[in-house]
Structure 1
Amino acid sequence: MSALLDDIKNVSMLSNKNMKIDKDFQQLDKYYVANGLVEITIGEYQGLGYYIVKEPELTPDEFRLYRDILEELRYRAKPDQQILTDPLGYLEKALKNTIGELEVASKVYNSKNKLFYYLKRDVLGFGPLEPLMNDPEIEDISIEGVGKPARVFHRRYSFYDWLHTNIVFENEEELNNYLIKLAHMGGKHISTAYPIADVMLPGRHRATLTFSREVTPQGPSLTIRKFREKPLTICHLVKHGTISSLMAAYWWILLENKAFLMIIGPMASGKTTLLNSLAMLLKPNWKVVSIEDVAELNLPHPGWKPLVARHTYLIGENLTEIKLFDLVKLSFRERADFIIVGEVRGEEAYALFQAAASGHGCACTFHSSNFESMVNRLTSPPLNVGLGYIDLISNVIIIKRVAKSSKQAIRRVAEVDEVISPHDYIKIFTWNSSDDSFYPNDPYELIEKSIELKHIAETTGLSEEDILAELIERKTFIESLVKHNILDFEEVTTQLRRFYYRRYGRNE
């Protein structure tokens, strides 16, 4: 039987709690998702941020009808090819047929949109979390246990950190069943024997699940990192003030000359977003291989080949497991011009440094707070990178999420370093928190400071004046895109290809 029909059998009837709003509740925002059917209210109460979901209400008669329709779908819906090609259309057709068989068309005339919303939500969608998954402003979703409200991280209200919602799983069995459904949606298994699962959900959303109370005493839990369908570009980051246009031009030149860039910072600081936006600057005629534990990168690049690790559930057996280390070694045989590792955390670090030593361009993200702690982690188990390899890193980019005020949190590249040795580096860019500015912002000063740019001039036969002209041209190009509000990844990619075509002609 198809997965869709299995889902119909296991539909949860859980809905959102009706939350009474206290008179001291301060409403900050209100908007709608799901084609206007779901109301979202954001507010503050006693210093905490709240995200209140109001789905369309079903009357008792509508709810009974919804339950009857589900029962009919469970027993009467038959699988056909449309389930695979158009599941939404299949569900709509099944609903229409079921309404006809139940002879209730007159009763559902004014309720059809609401009924179809809940059917789509519970059968094809993410159930009670569907409104959160439909909201493009939500970055992360977290449930820490039974009876605890789901919490969300909202892009526009990040100064509250996590917002509390009115979505609560009160029953452990209900939450366990929900986790099983999410795991199956991603083609994975979760159970008492295997209580942890890292899952790629439909839409490329990343979920970390823990089952029952095997490893989480407060009960089943989940965290969902939502995937941006349209990734942020380098122009977005310049416009938002995360980086400067001179930084972007500087990195662009480094990437074109196959440098090794390492982006470091704490969790949720924007490392992967910055990595993805920088990768868009790579030459369109290159072959780019990305390697990730769970796919998060989204590169609009014609030569992009993503590789993803595979994990096994077999007890005492790891012959079928494919680790990041294996994929980095595999990339050596791919004749890749540039290798990207989404997040370095194990033995794959050594293989990545070998790739850099053999002339590949490389970029990765890494959890660390500064240059010194980065070196300490890289040279310690389980990474075990030799000190002699550290100076292969061209650039260390430190990105942070900082509180600009009590009501605003921002992401900024706080520092950019060029590596001289394992124990020494030069600060190329710094961020001044007092006036939210980057230094330097003058290409002449950057040329004076940067060893990497001087090295590129020497190895390519260019003069420092030529490199300066490159910096100015690319800085101006990026500023022009931002000025004309060309930010979307498709538009930016098109402009970058035109830039390369004008520069190199038909060879690109």
Structure 2
Amino acid sequence: MFNVIVSTTKGTKVGEFQCIHSECHVGKDNGQLIQLRGFKVSKHHATLSQNEIGIFVSDNQSRTGLKVNDEKQKEFGPLSLIDKVQIGDYIIRVQSSDPKTITSETYHNEDLSLTDSSIIDSEITQVNELDKQTTLNCEAIASDELIQRIKVRNECRRKVHRELLKLMDLRRVNVSEMSDDELRIQSSKLIEQIIASMTLPDEIEVDSLIKEVLDETIGLGPLESLIADPDVTEIMVNSHDQIFYEKAGNLFLSDISFSDDQAVLGAIERIVTPIGRRIDESSPMVDARLKDGSRVNAVIPPLALKGPCITIRKFMQKRLSCNDLVNFGSMNQPMAAFLEMAVKQKRNIVISGGTGSGKTTLLNVLSNFIPDNERIVTVEDAAELQLYQPNLVSLEARPPNQEGKGAIEIRDLVKNCLRMRPDRVVIGECRGGEALDMLQAMNTGHDGSLTTAHSNSPRDCVSRLEVMVMMAGMDLPILAIREQITSAVNIIVQQSRFSDGSRRVTSICELTGLEGSVVQLSEIFKFQQTGFNTEGKVEGFYTATGTVPEFYEQLQKRGVKIKLDIFDTGGRK
């Protein structure tokens, strides 16, 4: 049995833990005895173990490792009270409950009264204070040096940038008539000329500086490297010096940053200007997209208190199919076969899910099942869908101009698209009153339409559709709204994002009608979670409920070739 004393690297005491077993686990996971927080802490970071020799610490192949007395170690022991084990931003010390162990390992002094807890507490306090002072001094020195290097680098970057703009202005370079490649080549040559005429500090790498200035001038600055990384799925700029990104479902703090708030504003302008959007104090929020279709949201002061914010949700460049989603573990093969049949047989489908759960990705995949001989009209707030059918019209909403006029809402576009002879209407997302127009379209000959909605379950999706219809301003009784929903919507597909970052189709339901005033949902497929594995990943299986959807029975009567074995309950995967 031994005690574990935990404090932060800045000396703040977190708490004491008593390990009554021979092993004690440290990490971020809820099952660990000592649970620590922070990006530098892994789920199962380290193990403290005690044997007849003493107490040992070992690294469990963590992402950031551990240090003992400021030296990186895989395993170390026996530990004494003055040994400092660092995990992330925490300091851990161990104290054996066996007095002999304390004497031999820690104090080496037979005359010390082991029962005098005040001496031990005093010793711990002195060690803590000494470590705290040393840590603060080292951090201050390292921090000052790092801050100074960053300041020098940013100043060089700003100086080269200013000179580049002056030089381009003197040469009367018409940027608007140049392609991106021509502009990059021209700017690169001018930057090299400017740097050649300057005296740079020794620690500045010329090639790296050229790339940074080039990215900041005609690209998105430090975000370019994150956008180019295919494994990064989301980028979040909280302020000019704090950038997070998501990779494999986990968030990481980036070591790159913008030089100042003005550089962030410049990146936002370069995103929104080409697509006719604007952002300023009168309109401090904007939804936009990158050239590859990635979604962008930006917020600037006075709404954003820490400075301009950017959120970029990247889309895969590869055209995804249902087989890809099956390989990713987002669904199984019977579910994919069912959804393909539902789209081809013109079932009206609503994809439900939370933020970042993969609704738009699934909508893209399902939309590509629509036959090429049908006319499709898509309606979106900011264009994200990537459809490849030949007879396709894409409509995008427009925000108001500087006078507050000229706005075209999604609802206006939905009404207009019904006059464009569509076979299918695909709405990127229903957020408000356009839900009523979407239901009207589904009920008036535009079968096979698709859309998405924010909700946590199929039942919640029905309730949310009711609320959105009410937002249209029509004073309709709730029973009439529910009748519209049940007659218009055939399938609800629930998409969820789990704690480990994985995205899965957790339920596929068919709306079968009204019973009294309650909308009846019949679940066809579901994902059954069984727990977590040793790496903290969600484990479970996909299974059919045994229910055969009503439209399959109708298809069978019409002689359409269908597979009923996909609804067998025995198939688990």
Q: Which residue of 2 aligns with 1:340?
A: 426
**Contact 1:172–1:212 (CA under 8 A) maintained in structure 2:** no
Q: Which residue of 216, 231, 234 corresponds with 1:122?
A: 216
Decide which structure has greater helix share.
Answer: 1
**Contact 1:82–1:89 (CA under 8 A) maintained in structure 2:** no
**1:9-20 to 2 correspondences below 5 Å:** none
Q: Which residue of 2 aligns with 1:133?
A: 227
TM-score for the superposition, normalised by structure 1: 0.70
Q: Provide closer, same or farther for how the CA distance between residues 294 and 104 of structure 1 changes in structure 2, counting only shifts above 3 A.
A: same
Q: Provide closer, same or farther for how the CA distance between residues 470 and 287 of structure 1 changes in structure 2, counting only shifts above 3 A.
A: farther
The alpha-carbon deviation at position 307 of structure 1 amounts to: 1.1
Specify the SS of the correspondent of 2:526.
strand
The alpha-carbon deviation at position 323 of structure 1 amounts to: 1.3
Distance, in Å, in 2 between the alignment partners of 1:165 and 1:65 is 21
Q: Which residue of 2 aligns with 1:237?
A: 325
Q: Which residue of 538, 548, 552 corresponds with 1:453?
A: 552
**Contact 1:394–1:452 (CA under 8 A) maintained in structure 2:** no
**Contact 1:390–1:421 (CA under 8 A) maintained in structure 2:** no
Structure 2 residues not aligned, in runs of 5+: 1-39, 46-58, 65-86, 91-148, 475-479, 531-538, 568-573
Q: Which residue of 2 aligns with 1:45?
A: 88
Distance, in Å, in 1 between the alignment partners of 2:194 and 2:350 is 61
The alpha-carbon deviation at position 173 of structure 1 amounts to: 5.3
2:490 partner amino acid: S
Distance, in Å, in 2 between the alignment partners of 1:258 and 1:134 is 38
The alpha-carbon deviation at position 233 of structure 1 amounts to: 1.8
**Contact 1:62–1:111 (CA under 8 A) maintained in structure 2:** no
Q: Which residue of 1 aligns with 2:117?
A: none
Instruction: Please say if 1:198 is aligned against 2:198.
Output: no
**1:329-408 to 2 correspondences below 5 Å:** 329-360=415-446, 361-380=448-467, 381-383=470-472, 386-391=481-486, 392-403=488-499, 408=500
**Contact 1:197–1:208 (CA under 8 A) maintained in structure 2:** yes
1:203 partner amino acid: D
Distance, in Å, in 2 between the alignment partners of 1:84 and 1:120 is 18
TM-score for the superposition, normalised by structure 2: 0.62
Distance, in Å, in 2 between the alignment partners of 1:92 and 1:382 is 51
The alpha-carbon deviation at position 65 of structure 1 amounts to: 8.2
The alpha-carbon deviation at position 197 of structure 1 amounts to: 1.7
Q: Provide closer, same or farther for how the CA distance between residues 228 and 289 of structure 1 changes in structure 2, counting only shifts above 3 A.
A: same
**1:208-357 to 2 correspondences below 5 Å:** 208-213=297-302, 215-315=303-403, 317=405, 320-357=406-443
The alpha-carbon deviation at position 366 of structure 1 amounts to: 0.4
The alpha-carbon deviation at position 351 of structure 1 amounts to: 1.0
1:294 partner amino acid: A
Query: CA deviation digits over 1:172-216, x for unaligned, max 9?
Result: 555455544544355432222222222223433322222213x23
The alpha-carbon deviation at position 344 of structure 1 amounts to: 0.5
Across the aligned residues of Structure 1 and Structure 2, the Cα RMSD in angstroms comes to 3.8
Q: Provide closer, same or farther for how the CA distance between residues 333 and 60 of structure 1 changes in structure 2, counting only shifts above 3 A.
A: closer
Distance, in Å, in 2 between the alignment partners of 1:101 and 1:186 is 32
Percent of aligned positions that are identical: 24
**Contact 1:92–1:116 (CA under 8 A) maintained in structure 2:** no
Q: Provide closer, same or farther for how the CA distance between residues 287 and 85 of structure 1 changes in structure 2, counting only shifts above 3 A.
A: farther
Instruction: Please say if 1:92 is aligned against 2:185.
Output: yes
Specify the SS of the correspondent of 2:407.
coil
1:75 partner amino acid: K
Distance, in Å, in 2 between the alignment partners of 1:102 and 1:218 is 33
Specify the SS of the correspondent of 2:225.
helix
Distance, in Å, in 1 between the alignment partners of 2:382 and 2:417 is 17
**Contact 1:139–1:225 (CA under 8 A) maintained in structure 2:** yes
The alpha-carbon deviation at position 281 of structure 1 amounts to: 1.2
**Contact 2:277–2:399 (CA under 8 A) maintained in structure 1:** no
Distance, in Å, in 2 between the alignment partners of 1:65 and 1:169 is 13
Structure 1 residues not aligned, in runs of 5+: 1-20, 30-43, 48-57, 473-508
Distance, in Å, in 2 between the alignment partners of 1:240 and 1:102 is 47
**Contact 2:234–2:312 (CA under 8 A) maintained in structure 1:** yes
- Relative contact order, CA 8 A, sep 6+: which one is greater? 1
Q: Provide closer, same or farther for how the CA distance between residues 88 and 123 of structure 1 changes in structure 2, counting only shifts above 3 A.
A: farther
Q: Which residue of 2 aligns with 1:413?
A: 505
The alpha-carbon deviation at position 339 of structure 1 amounts to: 1.1
**Contact 1:146–1:171 (CA under 8 A) maintained in structure 2:** yes
